[in-house]
A and B are shown apart, each in its own frame.
Chain A
Amino acid sequence: MTATCDIAVIGAGPAGMAAATVAAEGGATVMVFDEQPAPGGQIYRSIERAQGSTELQRILGPDYAYGAALVERFRASGAGYAPGSSVWQITPEREVWATRAGRSEVTQAGAVILATGAMERPVPVPGWTLPGVMTAGAVQILLKSSGLIATEGLVLAGCGPLLYLLAWQLLQAGQPPSAILDTATRADEFRAVRHLPAAMRRPLSAPRAEGLGYLRKGLSLRLALRRARLRMFRTVTDVQIEGGTSVEAVSFCSGGAIYRVPARLVALHEGVIPAQQATRSLGCDHEWDPVQHCFRPVLDRWGNTSMPGILVAGDAGGIGGARAAEHAGRIAAWEALHRIGRIDEFQRIRYAAPDVVGRASHLAIRPLLDALYPPPAKILRPADDVIVCRCEEITAGQVRDVARRGCQGPNQAKSFLRAGMGPCQGRMCGNTVSELIAAERGVSVGDVGYFRIRPPLKPVTLGELAVMDVAG
């Protein structure tokens, strides 16, 4: 039997929760599918459980605690909610195919809001496939969801707000990292200065300049890290992780000298990029964003993709952060309510107005952050001997080689090399493969394009399909 709903929301992070809340409160039947066992997304992950621990809340800080109210309103909204769901297919006809607790079901929706968020930009450096190498987000997830913290030998490497926030949180927990390898460059800091006035500006009719708040928070965080006298290396390049079957040390360059520090756990971070698997599989139009160095689905100001009735809200449509995502979720919900005929277009404009202003306010800081912490060229296009496709163990050199021999794009590279054909389906190597081919051919990444993504988006067993009850 096919279930039905007015609006299906994929993802229960800030954008998904906000979208579902507005849609359900607006009288629509809503179904939220989320991979995690509890609402919050990655940014507010396990927020409900963390409320039972004052210590964990103190460690994680006020920006995390903010998510509790969002979750509470979402829980009370009446929106249907299927946690622990793997959405493995979404069709242009707005059917959502998901597996939950060993069973697959299909839901026909009037509109679909994709709020699948961001993933951390993969950081292909020598040794990054060794056990003990994780992303900064992964280390933070262990803390948020299981109260787990590294006691020794944790090295943070990279740059960007999440990396510094994690360092601060570890400091609050009394377990500071043994070293921070900051890859931000003086040149980027210098270049970013011109974005400062715009970051501090208050958009018309916005209650406040949110950018100022972000700047204050960022500066006080950096100051706290400096005061703690952590072992911090600046303008770090050439990070290499060494070890046999797990991490043993990290070597790198900083200020013209070569260093080697012992490590048991390495947290890498070079920013985040949109999770594009869902929009790609649907065939939505995408564009290359040269500032954020990532592909993003082409969206109008309401969040509509190029496919009718398929919307994107939050970081899946371009990186804007949690608060902007929340506003985008509500904007997309008003648009979806309009599309299914619950409100007219003028109501949509009126109801969404505060969120349009709110989103602009929270996005004001973005150009500054994008300019401050661009991913290093060596991360975008690693050296020949570095593995780029973790699943099939394909190196950058192999990708360059097929490009030199006439391979025009990622899909051809896939058939030559199997890059992108492993279990992650190109999530980890997709952008790197496109970057490498583009550089080798001397064209833009946008022209080279991306892997063709096909369902199932997540592994699904024949058994799960066999027990499906689908009317023909």
Chain B
Amino acid sequence: MLKRLDPAQATLRFTFEGEPVAARPGDTVAAALLAAGVGVFRETPVSGAPRAPYCMMGVCFDCLVEIDRVPNRQACLTVVADGMDVRRQHGAREMA
């Protein structure tokens, strides 16, 4: 659905739900996941409805994911690092 104008630049590797994802250095986690065709980022605590980024600028909080075991991270504001472990957030975050 989304394509990269320059696919050759996707040189970083991280995982989403354990599956490998390619990213361009400087990509946000949200952009990289959308580029990889990820449709659902989280499920709401209230009804379990699927959600994905709406605003891409830190306002809507619908891109919340778990990154390297830290929940509630805004994927649209977090820059991808090589080897990141990103997971879907199910419902409310658990208290750490």
Task: Give A residues with C-beta under 8 Å from B.
Answer: 35-38, 42, 46, 49, 53, 55-56, 59, 84, 86, 119-120, 128-135, 137-138, 141-142, 145-153, 173, 245-246, 264-265, 275, 390-393, 422-424, 427-428, 459, 461-463
* Given A146-B35, A391-B61, A424-B59: A129 in contact with B51 (beta carbons within 8 A): yes
On whether the beta carbons of A131 and B5 are closer than 8 Å, the reply is no
* Given A137-B56, A148-B34, A245-B39: A393 in contact with B1 (beta carbons within 8 A): no
On whether the beta carbons of B46 and A393 are closer than 8 Å, the reply is yes
On whether the beta carbons of B61 and A422 are closer than 8 Å, the reply is yes
* Given A147-B6, A461-B96: A138 in contact with B56 (beta carbons within 8 A): yes
On whether the beta carbons of A55 and B55 are closer than 8 Å, the reply is no
Taken together as a complex, chains A and B put the C-alpha atoms of A245 and B52 apart, in Å, by 10
Other 19 A-B pairs with CB < 8 A, given A129-B54, A138-B57: A49-B26, A119-B55, A120-B59, A128-B54, A129-B62, A131-B51, A133-B54, A134-B55, A137-B56, A145-B28, A146-B26, A148-B2, A149-B3, A173-B5, A245-B39, A265-B1, A390-B60, A424-B61, A463-B96
* Complex interface: chain B residues within 8 A of A422 (CB): 61
On whether the beta carbons of A135 and B26 are closer than 8 Å, the reply is no
Q: In the complex, which of the residues B4, B26, B41, B74 contacts A148, with contact meaning CB atoms closer than 8 Å?
A: B4
Taken together as a complex, chains A and B put the C-alpha atoms of A148 and B37 apart, in Å, by 12
* Complex interface: chain B residues within 8 A of A428 (CB): 59-60
On whether the beta carbons of A131 and B52 are closer than 8 Å, the reply is yes
Taken together as a complex, chains A and B put the C-alpha atoms of A225 and B41 apart, in Å, by 34
> What is the interface of chain B mostly: helix, strand, loop, or mixed?
loop
Taken together as a complex, chains A and B put the C-alpha atoms of A173 and B6 apart, in Å, by 12
On whether the beta carbons of A246 and B50 are closer than 8 Å, the reply is yes
The residue on B at minimum CB distance from A462 is B96
Interface string of B57-79 (1 = CB under 8 A from A): 11111101000001010100101
Q: Ordered nearest first, which 8 A-B pairs have the shortest CB separation? A: A131-B52, A138-B56, A147-B5, A423-B61, A146-B31, A424-B61, A141-B56, A393-B46
Q: In the complex, which of the residues A120, A145, A390, A463 contacts B26, with contact meaning CB atoms closer than 8 Å?
A: A145
* Complex interface: chain A residues within 8 A of B70 (CB): 461
A-B contact pairs, 8 of them (CB 8 A): A129-B49, A131-B40, A138-B55, A145-B27, A148-B4, A245-B50, A390-B62, A427-B60
Taken together as a complex, chains A and B put the C-alpha atoms of A389 and B40 apart, in Å, by 19
On whether the beta carbons of A146 and B52 are closer than 8 Å, the reply is no
On whether the beta carbons of B53 and A35 are closer than 8 Å, the reply is no
Taken together as a complex, chains A and B put the C-alpha atoms of A362 and B5 apart, in Å, by 33
Would you call B44 an interface residue if the criterion is a C-beta within 8 Å of the partner chain's C-beta atoms? yes
Taken together as a complex, chains A and B put the C-alpha atoms of A38 and B28 apart, in Å, by 12
Taken together as a complex, chains A and B put the C-alpha atoms of A462 and B60 apart, in Å, by 22
The residue on B at minimum CB distance from A133 is B54
On whether the beta carbons of A146 and B57 are closer than 8 Å, the reply is no
On whether the beta carbons of A53 and B5 are closer than 8 Å, the reply is yes
Would you call B24 an interface residue if the criterion is a C-beta within 8 Å of the partner chain's C-beta atoms? yes
A83 shortest CB reach to chain B, Å: 10
Taken together as a complex, chains A and B put the C-alpha atoms of A177 and B12 apart, in Å, by 30
Would you call B11 an interface residue if the criterion is a C-beta within 8 Å of the partner chain's C-beta atoms? no
Taken together as a complex, chains A and B put the C-alpha atoms of A422 and B92 apart, in Å, by 10
Taken together as a complex, chains A and B put the C-alpha atoms of A124 and B5 apart, in Å, by 31
B57 shortest CB reach to chain A, Å: 6
Q: In the complex, which of the residues B26, B54, B64 contacts A138, with contact meaning CB atoms closer than 8 Å?
A: B54
* Complex interface: chain B residues within 8 A of A424 (CB): 59-61
On whether the beta carbons of A264 and B1 are closer than 8 Å, the reply is yes
* Given A37-B26, A129-B49: A148 in contact with B35 (beta carbons within 8 A): yes
A168 shortest CB reach to chain B, Å: 16
On whether the beta carbons of B54 and A390 are closer than 8 Å, the reply is yes
* Complex interface: chain A residues within 8 A of B2 (CB): 142, 148-151, 265
* Given A146-B27, A148-B35, A245-B39: A392 in contact with B46 (beta carbons within 8 A): yes
The residue on B at minimum CB distance from A244 is B50
* Complex interface: chain A residues within 8 A of B58 (CB): 35
On whether the beta carbons of A151 and B1 are closer than 8 Å, the reply is yes
* Given A134-B56, A145-B28, A148-B34: A393 in contact with B5 (beta carbons within 8 A): no
* Complex interface: chain B residues within 8 A of A38 (CB): 26
* Complex interface: chain B residues within 8 A of A129 (CB): 49, 51, 54, 62
On whether the beta carbons of B62 and A35 are closer than 8 Å, the reply is no
* Complex interface: chain B residues within 8 A of A151 (CB): 1-3
* Complex interface: chain B residues within 8 A of A146 (CB): 4, 24, 26-28, 31-32, 35
On whether the beta carbons of B26 and A142 are closer than 8 Å, the reply is no
Taken together as a complex, chains A and B put the C-alpha atoms of A152 and B37 apart, in Å, by 13
Taken together as a complex, chains A and B put the C-alpha atoms of A49 and B50 apart, in Å, by 33
* Complex interface: chain B residues within 8 A of A459 (CB): 72, 74
Most buried by A among B40, B60, B62, B77: B60
On whether the beta carbons of A427 and B59 are closer than 8 Å, the reply is yes
* Given A245-B40, A461-B70: A131 in contact with B50 (beta carbons within 8 A): yes
On whether the beta carbons of B79 and A37 are closer than 8 Å, the reply is yes
The residue on A at minimum CB distance from B25 is A49
Most buried by A among B1, B44, B53, B77: B1
Taken together as a complex, chains A and B put the C-alpha atoms of A119 and B54 apart, in Å, by 12
On whether the beta carbons of A393 and B47 are closer than 8 Å, the reply is yes
